[in-house]
Structure 1
């Protein structure tokens, strides 16, 4: 994802925020709006996104670039079992069942 904001810089004792030129923000307002909308439509928290990013990295380490949907679902079923989250296990298994019925992999 292309970054739309200026990252903070670490300094001794905290963070230094970048100065923002409001005129430049106005020029990019709709791009920023649509990117924010895409993020909000996922209904994921920043913490959940970081968990998914970590999980994707693990999957890439295991499977390389050739990951199927079912492999991803199986990974999350195992992950949620290990986390003791039976509700998410059930939802992931239902997704797998739907995919099998529709003939997708």
Structure 2
């Protein structure tokens, strides 16, 4: 029996480092790429739409892992768009809570 502790990390994605992108909900031809980049305040409808796409996406975890790995220690001003269901500010806060987890990510091919 496997016992899970709060110190265990999820297993790396079985998808290749870039192959997951073709399975993303936002890669659908009917989705405007700009929809994932709601800019400015007062864009709550656009933000809800982008996050809604993420939350029904089969590769949400891979997208978030990729964003966190690429963005690293960047602050919220250098994180754009909604990726992995989170805004740039939300990803920056997540990184600050546990920076070691994201720096250690490595994709397996």
Q: Which has the higher contact order (CA 8 A, sep 6+)?
A: 2
Largest Rg, 1 or 2: 1
Q: Structure 1 length as normaliser, TM-score?
A: 0.26
Q: Which TM-score applies when normalising by structure 2?
A: 0.25
Q: Where is the helix percentage greater, Structure 1 or Structure 2?
A: 1
Q: Which structure features the higher share of strand residues?
A: 1
